[in-house]
Amino acid sequence: MKRKISIAAILAAILIITIARGIGNRRDAHTAERTAAAVTPPPFTLIIDAGHGGEDGGAFTNSGLLESRLNLDIALRADALAAFFGVRTELTRNSEILLYSPENTTTRSRKAEDQRRRLAIVQETANAVFLSIHQNTYQTPSPYGAQVLYAPTQGSEELGVRLQTLLTQTLDPTNRRTAERVADTILLMNNIDCPAVLVECSFMSNPAEAALLQTDKYRTKLAVVLTAAILQSRDELATHYTI
């Protein structure tokens, strides 16, 4: 898939530099490009997983906006921004359309096939770091706030805590959620052997967060924070591999 770096992506990159490198704002796009070029590319491949897709739309807002589409939009933004910094990336999907084997005719069997396909991508990628993008939902509208769930693999907890901190500081300082180990029932996250985090970016059942999710600005902010956390963690993550 060919990536296109827009002016918006460059401006977002300025914010990433501010968060990930702590060097202050850059108002000039050319300065941002030079600074980005000076960032040492991480020695791993970032696998960006847009949760759900195909027959599995995931959660939805009251207006009918599907989680799968939001996850893909944020994933594509994060992919473009990561590429801006020279990060090797792999997308588990780049479309809402997923192809299934003819023998899998039920939604359940097709979901299982999709999970096996994503797991294979991770297992076949050397020096992988796995980032799965999701949205949360609840029976009542009051819960809010991003939360990071980390895999039981080496390096995952540290990455999860750092990402949770950045999400809280950057998007909503009133968010009191903390990074937690992923439940044993999340098969994909419990069957990979690389550093891995799953991000519940927002509550689609919360009217305020649902409204934010429908804006380009907020989805770009989410992609910025996700990318910044990876860049900020690149040295620690690199220690898990022999390069």
Q: Is residue 23 part of a domain?
A: no
In terms of phi and psi (left: phi > 0; alpha: psi -120 to 50; beta: otherwise), the region of 24 is left
The predicted structure's pLDDT at residue 155: 95
Displacement of CA 141 from its chain's centroid (Å): 24
In a domain, residue 156? The reply is: yes
- In angstroms, rounded to a whole number, what is the distance separating the alpha carbons of residues 77 and 99? 23
Query: Residue 10 domain-assigned?
Result: no
For residue 177, the model assigns a pLDDT of 98
Range of the domain at 155: 42-238
Q: What is the CATH number of the domain that holds 101?
A: 3.40.630.40
Identity of the residue numbered 175: N
Instruction: Report which residue type is found at 57.
Output: G
Buried b (16+ CB within 10 A) or exposed e, 164-193: bebbbebbbeeeebebeebeeeeebbeebe
pTM: 0.85
pLDDT for residue 234: 86
Q: What is the pLDDT of residue 8?
A: 52
How many structural domains are present in the chain?
Answer: 1
pLDDT in tens, 83-132: 888 899 999 999 999 999 999 999 999 999 999 999 999 999 999 999 99
Token pair of 4, please? Answer: 């296109």
Question: Is 183 among the domain residues?
Answer: yes
Question: Which amino acid belongs to residue 183?
Answer: A
Tell me, yes or no, whether 190 lies in a domain: yes
Strands annotated E in the chain: 45-50, 88-91, 128-136, 147-150, 180-181, 196-203
Phi, psi of 134 (to 5 degrees): -140, 175
| Positions in the chain whose pLDDT score sits under 70 | 1-41, 241-243
